Amino acid sequence: MTDTVLEVDSVTKTFPGVVANEDVSLTLDEGEIHCLLGENGAGKSTLVNMVFGLYRPDRGTIRVRGQDVYFEDSGDAIAQGIGMVHQHFQLIPVFTVAENIILGNEVTKGALLDLDTARRRIHALAERYGLAVDPDARVGDLSVGEQQRVELVKALFRDADILILDEPTAVLTPGEVDDFFGVVRSLTQQGKSIIFITHKLREVLAVADRITVLRAGKVVGSTTAQGATQQSLANLMVGRDVVFRVEKADADPGVPVVRVRGLRSQDDRGAETVTGLDVEVRAGEVFGIAGVEGNGQRELVEAICGMRPATGGRVEMLGEDITDWNPRRINQLGVAHIPENRSKHGVVAQYSIADNLVLNRYSQAKFSARGVRNTSAINAEAAALMEQFDVRATGASAALSTLSGGNQQKVVAARELTGELRILVVAQPTRGLDVGSIEFIHRQIIALRDRGVAVLLVSAELDEIMALSDRIGVMYRGRLAATVDAADATREALGLLMATGSSSATDREKQ
């Protein structure tokens, strides 16, 4: 018989205009991985934020090891051995890993920070749970996967034995996900208990002991991994049958409208990561770029969209040489861009939904005249788009930061997938979205393709690439190692190409 370490008992939480959690109950046993599932905005983050002391429940009780607890802030929760890795990381980029980890829990020697002791403890933790981190690296220089390990170490550093992980895998590459699950398993073996939020049903079935599904703030089901399938979970979450396969007709491609020739570009540290890349995308097709993250996909997308200078080569769109154009001009040509890093590039968190929906079109005649904003037109547009894309929020004037992560992504999608577009550049378009919303976004992308839009899709999800693309290019060390017809592509062949940059099978195909 295992002990229950955490009990959430009939908890209710409302925000103005929304019931985020209604009468939610949940238990977490020692050494257990308990998965929380639910649509975007179902209330998962709200629930765990209450457990971590960031929000206070309106009603209901939280018990830790049988004791009622009332947290005033996260400090109280930490004192009870609860740690959390947030959906949006909370690290300070200019500080080192060690500084970030001890922040708020400073190890001191007299009046001075005792970084040495901290470093030693970090090493010990890293060792014990298989979490490789370099205490002296600057957090801003780390990859997302590494930053996440830092967040985990930070929680463990404060002796957390109940860990809350809010969509930890959304931003990881497939390889990092495997490592991450290794860590999670070693954590539970050593007695830690974990609440794990994700939208990836495959992961749920792989690691969960128990699963609780939320819909519109209420618990709609609870099951074990053994008793569930992806389809049953998806249906439970969304409340209807979800189609996983993207229904699409064969593409009817036209002339090439994107022509990239010998493109070179550098990352923020000045290393050349796009090394003479050629690609052509035709009107009416989806060209998918697969590849292990860090092979230059980010720089490629930014260089194409005018956000990063090309150090060599040229980019042509719709017959124009746009190599040195700024993002506004490229956008006006009819090029939409869903950026990979939503919170960094795609939105202003403090702005209302409406202002985010016009972030790059505020100066169009529709939304302003002689430099003066037409607020009513902006709000009308926002209301329409929110309806069309099913953005769940209290209204167009709500701050974007009050939206659930998935709904924030829908705002970006709504902005970029509408309007007069001829070319669409999308990076990780469904990151953080629930299965229902993924289905919706995928359908939108295919609908645009069918209207003759050229789509360049970059995604770390091989499934997504394979489901949407008509042709697939595998990016390896800054170039396309191979281009294959989606119809002929297999997971295995693509995986091999991604890992090594070559495969005999595709070499034959190319001839």
Partner 1 sequence: MSRPGKAEAGITRASGHLHRLLTEAWRLQPLYVSLYAILLSFLIGGVLISMIGVNPLTAYWALLRGMVGNGERLAGSLARSVPFIGSALALALPFRAGLFNIGAEGQLLAGGLTAAYVGALSWMSDVPGIVAIPLILIAGTMGGAAWGGIPGVLRTKTGAHEVISTIMLNSVVLFAARWMVGSRDPVVLRDTDSTVPRTDPIADTAVLPELVDSQPVLHTGLFALLGLCVVVAFMLNRTNFGFEIATVGLNPHAAHYAGMNVNRVIVLAMAAAGAFAGLAAASEVSGTNGHLQPGTFFLMGFDGIAIALLARTKPVAIIAAALLWGSMLSGAPLMQQEADMSIDVVRIIQALVLLFVAADAIVRYLFQVREQGQQGQSPFQAASVEGAV
Ligand X SMILES: Nc1ncnc2c1ncn2[C@@H]1O[C@H](COP(=O)(O)OP(=O)(O)OP(=O)(O)O)[C@@H](O)[C@H]1O
Binding stretches for partner 1 (CB under 8 A): 15-16, 49, 54-56, 67-72, 76, 79-80, 92, 94, 307, 326-331, 337, 339, 344-353, 355, 359-360, 362-363, 368, 371-373, 375, 397-402
Residue 341 CB, nearest approach to partner 1 (Å): 8
CA distance linking residue 204 with residue 211, whole number of Å: 8
* Residue 215, CA atoms < 13 Å, CB-side half-sphere: 13
With a CB cutoff of 8 Å and minimum separation 6, the contacts of 505 are 493, 496
Residue 43 CB, nearest approach to ligand X (Å): 4
Sign of CA pseudo-dihedral 406, 410, 411, 413: positive
Residue among 139 and 433 whose Cβ is closer to ligand X: 433
Residue among 130 and 140 whose Cβ is closer to partner 1: 140
Question: Of ligand X, partner 1, Mg ion, none, which one does residue 41 interact with (CB within 5 to 8 Å by kind)?
Answer: ligand X
Residue among 184 and 425 whose Cβ is closer to partner 1: 425
Sign of CA pseudo-dihedral 374, 377, 379, 382: negative
CA distance linking residue 277 with residue 261, whole number of Å: 6
Residue among 438 and 481 whose Cβ is closer to ligand X: 438
Residue 46 CB, nearest approach to Mg ion (Å): 8
Quick one: which of 5, 31, 35, 45 contacts Mg ion (CB under 5 A)? 45
Total residue length of the chain: 511
The values of phi and psi at residue 159, to 5°, are: 60, 40
CA distance linking residue 44 with residue 170, whole number of Å: 15
Residue 434 CB, nearest approach to Mg ion (Å): 10
The values of phi and psi at residue 7, to 5°, are: -135, 125
Residue 84 CB, nearest approach to ligand X (Å): 13
Question: Of ligand X, partner 1, Mg ion, none, which one does residue 444 interact with (CB within 5 to 8 Å by kind)?
Answer: none
Work out the number of other CB atoms within 10 angstroms of the CB of residue 464. 23
Residue among 327 and 419 whose Cβ is closer to partner 1: 327
- How is residue 138 annotated by DSSP? B
Sort 396 into a burial class: Cβ within 10 Å, 0-12 / 13-18 / 19+.
buried
- Name which of 294, 341, 295, 290 is nearest 143 in CA terms: 294
3-state secondary structure of 375: helix
Question: Of partner 1, ligand X, Mg ion, none, which one does residue 76 interact with (CB within 5 to 8 Å by kind)?
Answer: partner 1
8 A C-beta contact, residue 248 and residue 446: yes
Residue among 45 and 437 whose Cβ is closer to Mg ion: 45
Question: Of ligand X, Mg ion, partner 1, none, which one does residue 393 interact with (CB within 5 to 8 Å by kind)?
Answer: ligand X
Question: Of partner 1, Mg ion, ligand X, none, which one does residue 40 interact with (CB within 5 to 8 Å by kind)?
Answer: ligand X
Using the rule CB under 5 A, give the single segment among 107-115, 178-186, 396-404, 474-482 that binds Mg ion: 396-404
Residue 285 CB, nearest approach to partner 1 (Å): 25
Residue 133 CB, nearest approach to Mg ion (Å): 25
Q: What is the 3-state secondary structure (H, E, C) of 446-506?
A: HHHHHCCCEEEEECCCHHHHHHHCCEEEEEECCEEEEEEEHHHCCHHHHHHHHHHCCCHHH
Question: Of ligand X, Mg ion, partner 1, none, which one does residue 392 interact with (CB within 5 to 8 Å by kind)?
Answer: ligand X
Residue 193 CB, nearest approach to ligand X (Å): 20
- Name which of 434, 417, 298, 306 is nearest 357 in CA terms: 417
Residue among 144 and 333 whose Cβ is closer to Mg ion: 144
Residue among 36 and 398 whose Cβ is closer to partner 1: 398
CA distance linking residue 238 with residue 215, whole number of Å: 7
Tokens of residue 361, six digits: 């079109």
Quick one: which of 31, 339, 405, 473 contacts Mg ion (CB under 5 A)? 405
- Does an H or E element contain 4, and which? strand 4-15
What is the full DSSP assignment across 203-244?
HHHHH-SEEEEEETTEEEEEEESTT--HHHHHHHHHSSPPP-
Residue 325 CB, nearest approach to partner 1 (Å): 10
Residue among 49 and 331 whose Cβ is closer to ligand X: 49
Question: Of ligand X, partner 1, Mg ion, none, which one does residue 418 interact with (CB within 5 to 8 Å by kind)?
Answer: none
Scored b (16 or more CB within 10 A) or e, 233-242 reads: bbbbbbeeeb
Question: Of partner 1, Mg ion, ligand X, none, which one does residue 312 interact with (CB within 5 to 8 Å by kind)?
Answer: none
Tokens of residue 63, six digits: 């018990």
The interaxial angle of helices 435-450 and 230-238, nearest 10 deg, is: 90
Residue 12 CB, nearest approach to ligand X (Å): 12
Question: Of ligand X, partner 1, Mg ion, none, which one does residue 250 interact with (CB within 5 to 8 Å by kind)?
Answer: none
3-state secondary structure of 489: coil
Residue 198 in the binding site for Mg ion (CB under 5 A): no
Question: Of ligand X, Mg ion, partner 1, none, which one does residue 352 interact with (CB within 5 to 8 Å by kind)?
Answer: partner 1
Question: Of Mg ion, ligand X, partner 1, none, which one does residue 459 interact with (CB within 5 to 8 Å by kind)?
Answer: none
- Bridge partners of 64, per DSSP, are 6, 67
Residue among 45 and 100 whose Cβ is closer to Mg ion: 45
Residue 446 CB, nearest approach to ligand X (Å): 23
Residue among 44 and 471 whose Cβ is closer to Mg ion: 44
User: Which residue matches tokens 């100066």?
Assistant: 363
CA distance linking residue 40 with residue 326, whole number of Å: 34
Residue 191 CB, nearest approach to ligand X (Å): 27
Residue among 394 and 490 whose Cβ is closer to ligand X: 394
With a CB cutoff of 8 Å and minimum separation 6, the contacts of 394 are 15, 16, 17, 18, 402
Chain residues that interact with ligand X, rule: CB under 6 A: 15, 18, 20, 38, 40-46, 87, 392-393, 402-407
Contact residues for Mg ion, defined by CB under 5 A? 45, 87, 404-405
